[in-house]
């Protein structure tokens, strides 16, 4: 089946095995070219082949390359019949500019593993809502190759990609409102990612559809009032009320000019006013530990006496 009905998942990807090819792309910001040797060495150590465009980095003021070149590389990676995964080097800014061109493509009949986070949230949302692909919100190629994130996160990503276990289980979950403390099991796919990228989708052709889904949100280096402002916009836009639950990831507090840190209390106050369960799962996002989570695949969120999230692979 290659048609999407009601934005439901229609594809599942093939997991990796030794000798498979991974496409490396930079749809957002750029990094130093020396990073490419590190990512090649990492994938070689994993027994994988690495395909990197010769012109992955170009001369551009804001992005890794021009919009046209970044889109060409994204398109080629997504449609490449010889690779089984696409790994984004890093986030930053720029992926949203590729979506109008991406929208013109016919979805391929086969999905593949797509990995990234932060600015890459825009592509996660598009691929899930428009193509029906599950995607992996997890460490960027930059983080993994340069050891900018815990090795436990990198190893967990590797094990996920090679299907070394049958399900992902997360148990460091904290309820943030009374509805989250009610005994219940929520079976629903997860959608979301970075808070401001979710906001960026509003009013576009790729607006996030969190209906009957668990809405995952993380953020970094934003003051409390900016966090509250965006959450209020999502609420007033009707995004939150139609979701089954909110699952906050890490929120790295930038702090206030007077030295206070108010994001934690802001999330708590927002949660107390929500008409759906709100919970928080640590170690996913921009912190030193960035564990992978599978978006789009049905998850089982158990709350009440115990709290854990399971995603069958």
Provide the residue ranges of all domains of the chain, joining segments of one domain with +.
21-161, 167-312
Q: What is the pLDDT of residue 12?
A: 83
Across 237-264, average pLDDT = 97
CATH level 3 topology of 21-161: Rossmann fold (3.40.50)
How many CB atoms are closer than 10 A to CB 304?
12
- Distance in angstroms (rounded) separating the CA atoms of residues 72 and 286: 28
Is 308 catalytic? The answer is no
Integer CA distances (angstroms), 256 to 130, 262, 264, 279, 287, in order: 38, 8, 13, 24, 19
Across 250-260, average pLDDT = 96
Query: Percentage of the chain with pLDDT > 90?
Result: 94
Q: Helix, strand, or coil here: 125?
A: helix
Is residue 226 scored above 60 in pLDDT? yes
Q: Which of 303, 240, 248, 304 is nearest to 275 (CA)?
A: 240
Is residue 7 scored above 60 in pLDDT? no
Q: What is the pLDDT of residue 223?
A: 97
Strands, E, within 40-130: which ranges?
Answer: 49-51, 85-88, 113-116
Q: What is the pLDDT of residue 9?
A: 53
- Distance in angstroms (rounded) separating the CA atoms of residues 141 and 143: 5
List, edge to edge, every strand of the sheet that includes 214-222. Answer: 167-170, 308-312, 298-303, 184-194, 214-222, 245-253, 278-281, 173-175
pLDDT band at residue 5, thresholds of 50, 70 and 90? very low
Given the residues 29, 118, 201, 271, select the one marked as catalytic: 118
Is residue 6 scored above 60 in pLDDT? no
Is residue 221 scored above 80 in pLDDT? yes
Q: What are phi and psi of 308, to 5 degrees?
A: -160, 160
pLDDT in tens, 30-39: 999 999 999 9
Structure tokens at 6: 């009601």
Strands, E, within 171-277: which ranges?
Answer: 173-175, 184-194, 214-222, 245-253
Query: Percentage of the chain with pLDDT > 70?
Result: 96
Across 282-296, average pLDDT = 97
Is 34 catalytic? The answer is no
pLDDT band at residue 11, thresholds of 50, 70 and 90? low
Mean per-residue pLDDT over the chain, rounded: 95
pLDDT band at residue 109, thresholds of 50, 70 and 90? confident
pLDDT in tens, 155-180: 999 999 999 999 999 999 999 999 99
CATH level 3 topology of 167-312: Glucose Oxidase; domain 1 (3.50.30)
Is 218 catalytic? The answer is yes
Is residue 153 scored above 60 in pLDDT? yes
224-236 and 263-272 helices cross at what angle (nearest 10)? 20
287 CB-near residues (< 8 Å, 6+ apart): 250, 252
Given the residues 137, 153, 201, 218, select the one marked as catalytic: 218
5 CB-near residues (< 8 Å, 6+ apart): none
Question: Could you tell me the pTM of the whole model?
Answer: 0.95
């Amino acid at each position: 089946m290659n048609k999407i009905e009601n934005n439901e998942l229609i594809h599942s990807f093939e997991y990796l095995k030794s000798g498979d090819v991974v496409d490396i792309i930079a749809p957002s910001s750029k990094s130093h070219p020396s990073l490419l040797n590190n990512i090649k060495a990492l994938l070689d150590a994993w027994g994988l082949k690495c395909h990197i465009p010769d012109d992955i980095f170009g001369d551009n003021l804001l992005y890794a390359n021009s919009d046209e070149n970044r889109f060409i590389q994204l398109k080629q990676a997504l449609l490449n019949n010889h690779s089984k995964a696409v790994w984004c080097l890093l986030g930053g800014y720029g992926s949203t500019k590729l979506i109008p061109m991406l929208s013109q493509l016919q979805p391929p009949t086969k999905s593949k593993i797509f990995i990234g986070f932060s600015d890459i949230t825009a592509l996660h949302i598009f691929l899930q809502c428009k193509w029906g692909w599950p995607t992996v919100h997890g460490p960027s190629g930059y983080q993994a190759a340069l050891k900018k994130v815990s090795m436990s996160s990198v190893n967990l990503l590797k094990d996920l990609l090679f299907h070394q276990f049958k399900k992902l289980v997360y148990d460091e979950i904290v309820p943030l409102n009374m509805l989250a403390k009610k005994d219940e099991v929520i079976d629903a796919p997860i959608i979301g990612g970075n808070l401001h990228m979710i906001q960026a989708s509003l009013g576009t052709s790729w607006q996030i559809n969190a209906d009957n889904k668990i809405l995952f949100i993380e953020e970094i280096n934003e003051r409390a009032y900016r966090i509250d402002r965006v959450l209020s916009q999502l609420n007033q836009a009707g995004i939150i009320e139609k979701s089954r639950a909110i699952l906050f990831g890490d929120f790295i507090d930038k702090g206030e000019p007077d030295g206070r840190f108010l994001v934690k209390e802001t999330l708590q106050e927002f949660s107390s006013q929500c008409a759906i369960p709100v919970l928080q799962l640590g170690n996913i996002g921009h912190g030193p530990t960035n564990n992978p989570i599978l978006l789009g695949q049905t998850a089982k969120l158990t709350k009440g006496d115990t709290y854990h999230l399971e995603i069958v692979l």
